[in-house]
Amino acid sequence: MKKITYVFRSFLMFFAVVAFAQAQETEAVKEGGHTNQSKFRQLYQEFSTPNSYRSASGAPGPNYYQQQADYKMDITLDDKNAKIYGEETITYTNNSPDVLEFLWVQLDQNVRTKDTKSALRNGGGVPLAAPTSSFVSSYMKESFDGGFNIEFVKDANGRPLPFTINQTMMRVDLPTPLASNSQVSFSIKWWYNIPDHTTDRARSGYEYFPKDGNRAYVIAQFFPRMAVYSDVEGWQNHQFWGSGEFALPFGDYEVNITVPADHILDGTGELQNMKEVFSKEMIKRYNQAKKSYDAPVVIVTQEEAEAAEKGFSDKTKTWKLKAENVRDFGFATSRKFIWDMQAVKLGNRDVMAVSMYPKEGNPLWEEYSTKAVALTLKSYSSHTFDYPYPKAISVHAKNQGMEYPMICWNYGRPNEDGTYSDGVKYGMISVIIHEVGHNFFPMIVNSDERQWGWMDEGLDTFMQYMAEQEFGEAFPEAIAPLEAYPSRRGAPAKIVPYMAGDQSFIAPIMSNPENVYQLGPNAYGKPATALNILRETVMGRELFDHAFKTYANRWKFKHPTPEDFFRTMEDASAVDLDYFWRGWFYTTDFVDIGVKEVKKYYVSNEPTKQMKEYMAARNITEADLPPLVYLAAEDSEDYNPELKGKKPSESSQTLNAFMMDNMTESERAAVKEPKYFYEVTFNKPGGIPMPLIVDYTYADGTTKSITYPAEIWRKNDAEVKTVLSTEKEIVGIVVDPKAETADIDTTNNSWPKAETRSEFDSFKAGIKD
């Protein structure tokens, strides 16, 4: 967009120069034509063409398909050496109309192999001086020996299958191509070294506790997983570099996990052998928890966990989990875990809200984790669909905020003496809401995270904002003395510093997460704010909520694309939002609307000077004209102080005559006769067209609010004029008075111009007072 505009402008200037140079001899060259540049044109160029897989309405089409990958796995944890060993059988169903010659499997742990390309993907120069620690980690340390060690890939009859590893993906070649609507089974055996996630910044791994010598494991990406094959991408082929997350097909999982006998474990799916792994006391407590709807019941107490962390069992236990229709699998295990649960009623079903945490998380975790999980399930369900899985687990892992189906890892650690700041508390509640919320986007409404970070992060952050505000309303004592939950993202003003920033560090929301400069505002904050503004300001809650719910229900347990979201939001609301998607999602434009000029007019009997010149030029007299009413501007020579405060019919004879001829006496008495006329010019330095929200204040102190639709900008993107006729004098005009549009510059929002003080100046003034 930017580039086109620029080229277009230079083109015009070129002609202006030519015309000037040749003015004496030839006529001016006519301005050239142009294509449709309206910001309100439809997104036909940006959107892919609807087809039988994906309908123009935004719903799955009649031939929509998706692949299925079912897994049976046996996993063993070697706690002494922090290694995982696994063997799996994948049954892959090809529901596509295509014949597949090979399958692609994802090996995400390979992002940590010694020769990983991931470490080489960010360029950079030699710094003037390097801090010693960074120098050591960059140039002196032996890198971690991570990545999958694949022992075999075999077909259903045990014969080796040829495979090729390309970084974080593995191609398995099939001896006979997999026909449409058919299935293939194959097995893989592997092992890998588990990384320390606290130093490696991995999305899974262990934390080591030097005081008791134990590890707490939060394990994911631990098995070779099928890549997605779809109607939009074919085989997903964007490597795992570290920033972009995952694209995974749905399937059923049966996973047996063998860990030391003194470990407590929970993960995706329902436990199949409770009697083998729970003590009698734990089973009794679990049955209580299933009926406890208002407070969690502790299944493993802190005392029990502290006793367990003093030992190290050489025996093992196998926990058997089974999950249906999930896109991934994760689990957490340690002898350090405290465990609590409560039931949450959703419709006529009960779902378990679960928390697992080492004692280092207390007293914060026992107080708030399960509470936050339960609230999230209720809040998100009310805005989308009832949470369909049997449980949702929040596991405490230092510095983590990472999501998997039914389970997630969350940060929020108190100080060693058990005290914690408000920042730690709200950070912890927020991250739990966010990560549990990811069950909805992308675990169930399963967008392609590798391509579109915002589709899950942005939608989830928007939902998180609503849930946080609802948390504050549900538990006022938990947020006291604050009156509303201090949400970090979602409110329009919070995104202003980002959108006002240097354009060279901003990428459109519609960018791959690997290629953006500031992933937080790009994929989380800006889309969440855009949706919040849509809901509160552009569409209204009723239209927005129905459309958003429609999107969630159309695409639950399916793979939506950005267009499916954009189209559904319009399809279910009858609001054409193409201009909004274009401005907020496809460009780096920002919002800036101001009031530029206000002119006051009075009705006059005399033609204005401009009108007189118009008549003289055309050689016409007043007698030639039909009856006309004239408006004299207050600051012009047409103005006469006697006009002020009079009714229009008193000032204009022609108007009075017209009223006498066409209205009865009683009609004339009832007609409104505004005494003041204003022409207000609003300008728009920002690129995004937004509704123009204006508060007009009258001399008597009363206020009138008018919201002009965004379409007011459709014929002139730079400025618009509007005429107001009022009984009372207008003394003040404010654009976007409640700061609901993320306007980046509010110094131009008021008439008369209000003196605005910078944050610094207000602070300094405060000191002096």
Does residue 751 contact residue 594 with C-beta atoms inside 8 Å?
Answer: no
Minimal distance, residue 502 CB to another protein, in Å: 3
Please state, in angstroms and rounded to a whole number, the distance separating the CA atoms of residues 219 and 204.
5
Which residue, 129 or 670, is less far from another protein as judged by CB?
129
Which residue, 114 or 764, is less far from another protein as judged by CB?
764
Minimal distance, residue 544 CB to another protein, in Å: 25
Which residue, 134 or 705, is less far from another protein as judged by CB?
134
Minimal distance, residue 423 CB to another protein, in Å: 4
DSSP 314-368: SSEEEEEEEEEEES---EEEETT-EEEEEEEEETTEEEEEEEEE-GGGTTHHHHH
Please state, in angstroms and rounded to a whole number, the distance separating the CA atoms of residues 740 and 743.
8
Q: Is 253 helix (H, G, I), strand (E, B) or coil?
A: strand
Of 496, 515, 516, the C-alpha closest to 506 is 516
Please state, in angstroms and rounded to a whole number, the distance separating the CA atoms of residues 572 and 372.
31
Minimal distance, residue 529 CB to another protein, in Å: 14
What is the phi/psi pair of residue 15, to 5°? -65, -35
Minimal distance, residue 755 CB to another protein, in Å: 18
Minimal distance, residue 517 CB to another protein, in Å: 6
Which residue, 136 or 179, is less far from another protein as judged by CB?
136
How many alpha carbons fall within 13 Å on the CB side of residue 721?
Answer: 8
Of 457, 519, 524, 460, the C-alpha closest to 489 is 524
Minimal distance, residue 514 CB to another protein, in Å: 14
Q: Is 680 helix (H, G, I), strand (E, B) or coil?
A: strand
Whether omega before 131 lies within 30 degrees of 0, making that bond cis, reads no
How many alpha carbons fall within 13 Å on the CB side of residue 485?
Answer: 27
614 Cβ contact partners less than 8 Å away, ≥ 6 residues apart: none
Which residue, 426 or 602, is less far from another protein as judged by CB?
426
Does residue 747 contact residue 734 with C-beta atoms inside 8 Å?
Answer: no
**Which residues of the shown chain bind another protein in the complex (CB under 8 A)?**
124-125, 127-128, 130-131, 133-134, 137, 201, 415, 419, 421-424, 426-427, 486-488, 494, 497, 500-502, 504-505, 517-518, 759-760, 763-764, 767
Minimal distance, residue 638 CB to another protein, in Å: 37
Which residue, 707 or 762, is less far from another protein as judged by CB?
762
Residue 388 burial (C-beta neighbours within 10 Å; 0-12, 13-18, 19+) = middle
Which residue, 128 or 574, is less far from another protein as judged by CB?
128
Minimal distance, residue 481 CB to another protein, in Å: 11
Please state, in angstroms and rounded to a whole number, the distance separating the CA atoms of residues 196 and 210.
13
Which residue, 134 or 515, is less far from another protein as judged by CB?
134
How many alpha carbons fall within 13 Å on the CB side of residue 739?
Answer: 11
Of 239, 245, 191, the C-alpha closest to 408 is 245
Residue 582 has what DSSP assignment? Answer: I
Minimal distance, residue 498 CB to another protein, in Å: 8
Minimal distance, residue 763 CB to another protein, in Å: 5
Which residue, 248 or 528, is less far from another protein as judged by CB?
528
Q: Is 606 helix (H, G, I), strand (E, B) or coil?
A: coil
Which residue, 195 or 251, is less far from another protein as judged by CB?
195
Minimal distance, residue 200 CB to another protein, in Å: 12
SS3 labels along 269-325: CEECCHHHHCCHHHHHHHHHHCCCCCCCEEEECHHHHHHHCCCCCCCEEEEEEEEEE
Which residue, 683 or 722, is less far from another protein as judged by CB?
683
Residue 155, beta-bridge partner list? 186
Q: Is 763 helix (H, G, I), strand (E, B) or coil?
A: helix
Does residue 271 contact residue 277 with C-beta atoms inside 8 Å?
Answer: yes
Minimal distance, residue 432 CB to another protein, in Å: 15
35 Cβ contact partners less than 8 Å away, ≥ 6 residues apart: none
Minimal distance, residue 401 CB to another protein, in Å: 12
Which residue, 519 or 720, is less far from another protein as judged by CB?
519
- Furthest CA-CA distance within the chain: 111
Does residue 605 contact residue 630 with C-beta atoms inside 8 Å?
Answer: yes
Q: Report the side by side order of strands in the sheet with 214-219.
A: 205-209, 214-219, 331-334, 264-267
Which residue, 463 or 516, is less far from another protein as judged by CB?
516
Minimal distance, residue 525 CB to another protein, in Å: 12
Which residue, 197 or 391, is less far from another protein as judged by CB?
197
Minimal distance, residue 402 CB to another protein, in Å: 16
What is the phi/psi pair of residue 465, to 5°? -60, -45
Of 289, 406, 427, 313, the C-alpha closest to 80 is 313
Which residue, 52 or 137, is less far from another protein as judged by CB?
137
Of 693, 440, 511, the C-alpha closest to 591 is 693
Residue linked to tokens 């590890």: 215
Please state, in angstroms and rounded to a whole number, the distance separating the CA atoms of residues 651 and 578.
47
Which residue, 612 or 757, is less far from another protein as judged by CB?
757
Does residue 436 contact residue 378 with C-beta atoms inside 8 Å?
Answer: no
Which residue, 38 or 134, is less far from another protein as judged by CB?
134
Please state the separation of Cα 446 from the chain's center in Å.
Answer: 14
Minimal distance, residue 426 CB to another protein, in Å: 7
Which residue, 202 or 343, is less far from another protein as judged by CB?
202
Minimal distance, residue 399 CB to another protein, in Å: 10
